[in-house]
Amino acid sequence: MVSRKIAPGKARRSIAAAQCNVANVKNLTTTVRGAMLDMARPVSARSEIASNLRFIEDGLLVAQDGLIVYSGPWDSSKVPGAPESVMHFPGKLIVPGFIDTHVHYPQAEMIGAYGEQLLDWLNQYAFPTEQRYADIEYARKMADFFVRELLRNGTTTALVFCTVHPESVDALFETAQRIDMRVIAGKVLMDQNAPDYLLDTAISGYESSKALIEKWHKKGRLLYAITPRFAPTSTDQQLAMAGKLKGEYPDVYVHTHLSENRAEIDWVKDLFPGHDGYLDVYHHHGLTGSRSVFAHCVHLRDHEWKCLSDTESAIAFCPTSNLFLGSGLFPLKKSWERGVRVGMGTDVGAGTSFSMLQTLNEAYKVAQLQNDKLSAFEAFYLATLGGAKSLSLDHLLGNFDVGKEADFIVLDPGATPLLQKRNETCLDLEQRLFALFTLGDDRCIHSTFVNGTLAFEREGKI
Ligand code: GUN
Ligand code: ZN
């Protein structure tokens, strides 16, 4: 039996260098002890959340070869190795790894770009930045940076936009593969209304995506997403080819943007006059379904909510992005009422933080502005098991059930002086959790375990 720690963040080496001798280790056992919080099962109503939370004051989690083999109250007889092999985290909180259901890795370097709403922001900032990813070496460096950012923010699963360049997909999957991280990603499809240097064609987009599916989909923990950027940058032919590809590979994902910004919606109406609204452009080509994730959905019409529900499509709610680009307020309450699955997305680089804690903080405010309340427990659900459910991965991820993949994090609820002070006045778990979401950020991520292995450990004290 081997009990190994790896900590690329600590070693300050590239993930490639740090991990190359670890992915194949067998009989890897990881044993952690501390307070544990997870959700027992996915829910379909807000009212079911609190009663399905599981909190254990002194818990034990044992992972073997990447899977959870025991989770429950501390019991020394369940420790498979020597007592010294137990990693004990008193005063911390062990929770499932966070799930980011919408993020762009080739935008990390232009996060926080000033002054524009969606369409001008794309032209001025996003497109020129994405051009750099034609260079595989640049893409590899940024994939390494991106995955490190995810880990240091406690995110263990992500649904990721790459660029139009197949090399950008290779770079990200190579990096994720080295640490056996569950990543869903795909090559962007764009054959109109973008700079020439970022365009593919309906045929080349189809063929490159198909080759990437063959190369990466279900390789280890990696999954592929067919990724038309959004309706305005794809011709009808390209969307038809995307639908054909989805028909050929029904278990791959579809990942795109939908109804984010008013000017974007008007543009779609002009570009696709024969359709009954924005979503219908995708639906018409077979791009809705239980593995389709639509980012934003801020301004949906009633029949579009119905279509999402009927087709079991999911939404990525991206509050920091929607506020930063002035896009609008996502009606989270409505998604519950209409029975549409929702996960949280950072949407970096229109989103302003990799931190799921900060993303939940902004989600709370978005709800407040609509006279709605996002409870601490609902926020926790959306970032963990609810996110897994929105990605149709809740049978594998999102809580501590035995047999699930051992992606989990250790949160430090007292990482900063302000949090420590605030915690003095918190009366219960719900209040402490809410304070953590409101005041916390990457400083609260004490360590991150991917596939049962320590992949990030925070250094030093604040
Ligand atoms: N719509 C089309 N492309 C993008 C993008 O890169 N970011 C966001 N936020 N919305 C988009
Ligand atoms: Zn996006």
Same domain, 276 and 227: yes
Q: How close is the Cα of 104 to the center of ligand 2, in Å?
A: 6
Q: How close is the Cα of 374 to the center of ligand 1, in Å?
A: 25
Closest C-alpha to ligand 1, atom 5: 122
Q: Please spell the DSSP secondary structure of 22-68, one letter per residue.
A: TTT--SBEEEEEEEEEEESS--SSGGGTGGGEEEEEEEEEEEETTEE
Query: Is residue 309 included in any domain, yes or no?
Result: yes
Same domain, 130 and 221: yes
pLDDT for position 412: 98
Q: How close is the Cα of 92 to the center of ligand 2, in Å?
A: 33
Pocket test for ligand 1, best of 101, 105, 118, 168 (most atoms within 8 A of CB): 118
Closest C-alpha to ligand 1, atom 7: 350
Query: Is residue 431 included in any domain, yes or no?
Result: yes
Torsion of CA 80, 83, 85, 87, to 10 degrees: 110
Q: How close is the Cα of 433 to the center of ligand 2, in Å?
A: 28
Residue 443: give its domain's CATH number: 2.30.40.10
Query: Is residue 241 included in any domain, yes or no?
Result: yes
pLDDT for position 25: 53
Cα angle: 219, vertex 224, 227; to 5 degrees: 165
Q: How close is the Cα of 189 to the center of ligand 1, in Å?
A: 13
Tokens encoding 430: 């719900």
pLDDT in tens, the chain (462 residues): 333 333 333 333 345 433 433 444 567 999 999 999 999 999 999 999 999 999 999 999 999 999 999 999 999 999 999 999 999 999 999 999 999 999 999 999 999 999 999 999 999 999 999 999 999 999 999 999 999 999 999 999 999 999 999 999 999 999 999 999 999 999 999 999 999 999 999 999 999 999 999 999 999 999 999 999 999 999 999 999 999 999 999 999 999 999 999 999 999 999 999 999 999 999 999 999 999 999 999 999 999 999 999 999 999 999 999 999 999 999 999 999 999 999 999 999 999 999 999 999 999 999 999 999 999 999 999 999 999 999 999 999 999 999 999 999 999 999 999 999 999 999 999 999 999 999 999 999 999 999 999 999 998 755
Domain boundary among the residues 342, 372, 390 is at 390
Same domain, 285 and 208: yes
Q: What are phi and psi of 340, to 5 degrees?
A: -110, 130
Alpha carbons 107 and 229: distance in angstroms, whole number: 14
Ligand nearest to the CA of 229: 1
Which atom of ligand 1 is closest in space to residue 321's alpha carbon? 9
Pocket test for ligand 1, best of 122, 258, 268 (most atoms within 8 A of CB): 122
Same domain, 105 and 134: yes
Query: Is residue 310 included in any domain, yes or no?
Result: yes
Which atom of ligand 1 is closest in space to residue 126's alpha carbon? 6
Q: How close is the Cα of 217 to the center of ligand 2, in Å?
A: 22
Pocket test for ligand 1, best of 260, 264, 271, 346 (most atoms within 8 A of CB): 260
Ligand nearest to the CA of 130: 1
Same domain, 142 and 108: yes
Which atom of ligand 1 is closest in space to residue 104's alpha carbon? 6
Query: Is residue 112 included in any domain, yes or no?
Result: yes
Tokens encoding 343: 């996960």
Domain count of the fold of the chain:
2
Tokens encoding 64: 């073997």
Same domain, 236 and 289: yes
Q: How close is the Cα of 395 to the center of ligand 1, in Å?
A: 30
Q: How close is the Cα of 263 to the center of ligand 1, in Å?
A: 13
Which atom of ligand 1 is closest in space to residue 350's alpha carbon? 9
Same domain, 156 and 15: no
Q: Which domain holds residue 146?
A: 98-390
Closest C-alpha to ligand 1, atom 3: 229
Query: Is residue 462 included in any domain, yes or no?
Result: no
Same domain, 424 and 319: no
Same domain, 88 and 107: no
pLDDT for position 251: 98
Q: How close is the Cα of 155 to the center of ligand 1, in Å?
A: 21
Q: What is the pTM of this model?
A: 0.95
Closest C-alpha to ligand 1, atom 11: 257
Domain boundary among the residues 368, 390, 412 is at 390
CB contact burial 189-221 (16+ within 10 A = b; e otherwise):
bbbebbeeebbbbbebbbebbbebbeebbeeeb
DSSP state of 222: -
Which atom of ligand 1 is closest in space to residue 318's alpha carbon? 9
Query: Is residue 395 included in any domain, yes or no?
Result: no
Distances (CA, A) of 75 to 32, 39, 231: 12, 21, 54
When computed from its CA atoms, the radius of gyration of the chain, rounded to whole angstroms, is 21
Alpha carbons 430 and 105: distance in angstroms, whole number: 33
Same domain, 91 and 105: no
Ligand nearest to the CA of 263: 1
Query: Is residue 172 included in any domain, yes or no?
Result: yes
Domain boundary among the residues 365, 390, 415 is at 390
Query: For ligand 1, which residues put their CB under 6 angstroms from it?
Result: 104, 118, 122, 126, 229-230, 257, 260, 321, 347, 350
Same domain, 220 and 177: yes
Same domain, 246 and 195: yes
Residue 295: give its domain's CATH number: 3.20.20.140
Q: How close is the Cα of 352 to the center of ligand 1, in Å?
A: 13
Neighbour tally for 112: CB within 10 Å = 12
